[in-house]
Amino acid sequence: MNVDETITHLGLLEDEAIDLDTSALSLALPDHPGTRLDPYLDLLTDMTRDLVQAGRTALNSVEQALALQAVLAGEYRFEGDRDLYDHPDNADLIRVIDRRRGLPVSLAILYVSAARRLGWQADVLNTPGHVLASIGPETDPVLIDPFDRGEIVTAETLNSLLERILDPGAQVSSEHIAPMSNRGVLIRLLLNQASRAERGGDQERALELYERMSAIAPDHTLPWWERARLEVMLGDFAAARSSLSAMLEITRDADLRSHICGALDSLSATGR
């Protein structure tokens, strides 16, 4: 595995110490040799300064949401890429900032990070299929859709969204609007790239992205399992055994451990 030291360092941080936007930039940097992050960090500083001005009189969640919309969508013109939704650039924060276009999760990272820098409570939500963000305290949150230029999401809009993604008649539950951990957000960002790479037939690229995931979230089993699966497909059986063994170190779930041991036995039985 060849993972940048900055990315590895993210795996050592407590979740609350992770800054979403700067971390997402670090995760994208290995794909842009020779690129310096300074201009991108300067832009984040500029957005924060402008949000301080726009939000100086924001006294509640709605006003905070509107200030975010005015700055990120209005001044900086960030919005969802409806024309090239599945393009890998939309989950690469460097290219998202370059193009002012992105996926729901990458744009939510920008909105939530900007809000947090002003001390506002903000979270990226685990909405299935289309990430939303929550602005304001748990007692009075406002949901926004960063993909739709930061528009406030009404209960009716949320129901329609979930019916479209899940099935007609789907009801909103707490799990659909639960905040994700910072690591969870970064993993979801990388999963978007990895799944698209594999669908495009680039297994090596997908493996590289799962390596980054296991570096920033070494105690999450999904990246290790996906690494092992791809390593087998690419013929690197020693690496697959190492990935499966890493899973055994971090999980106490009896069923999962049995599944992992079965996979290791299968590799041994075939002489791999």
pLDDT digits (tens, 9 = 90+) for 6-38: 899 999 999 999 999 999 999 999 999 999 999
The chain-wide mean pLDDT, for the chain, equals: 94
> CATH number for the 5-177 domain, one of 3.40.50, 3.10.620, 3.30.450, 3.30.160?
3.10.620
Rounded mean pLDDT, 189-207: 96
pLDDT > 70? residue 190? yes
Residue burial 24-56, b: 16+ Cβ < 10 Å; e: rest = bbbbbbeeeeeeebeebeeebeebbebbeebbe
| Fold that domain 182-187+201-269 belongs to in CATH | 1.25.40
Query: Could you tell me where in the chain the CATH 1.25.40.10 domains are found?
Result: 182-187+201-269
Distance in angstroms (rounded) separating the CA atoms of residues 50 and 259:
52
- Give the pLDDT score at 6: 86
Rounded mean pLDDT, 163-168: 81
pLDDT > 80? residue 90? yes
Query: Could you tell me where in the chain the CATH 3.10.620 domains are found?
Result: 5-177
Distance in angstroms (rounded) separating the CA atoms of residues 143 and 158:
9
pLDDT band at 229 (very low <50, low <70, confident <90, very high): very high
Q: Are strands 151-152 and 122-124 parallel, antiparallel or unpaired?
A: unpaired
pLDDT > 50? residue 1? no
pTM above 0.85, yes or no: yes
Q: Are strands 101-102 and 79-80 parallel, antiparallel or unpaired?
A: parallel
Q: What percent of the chain has pLDDT over 70?
A: 98
Give the list of residues 6+ apart from residue 109 with CB closer than 8 angstroms, or none.
Answer: 20, 21, 24, 93, 124, 185, 189
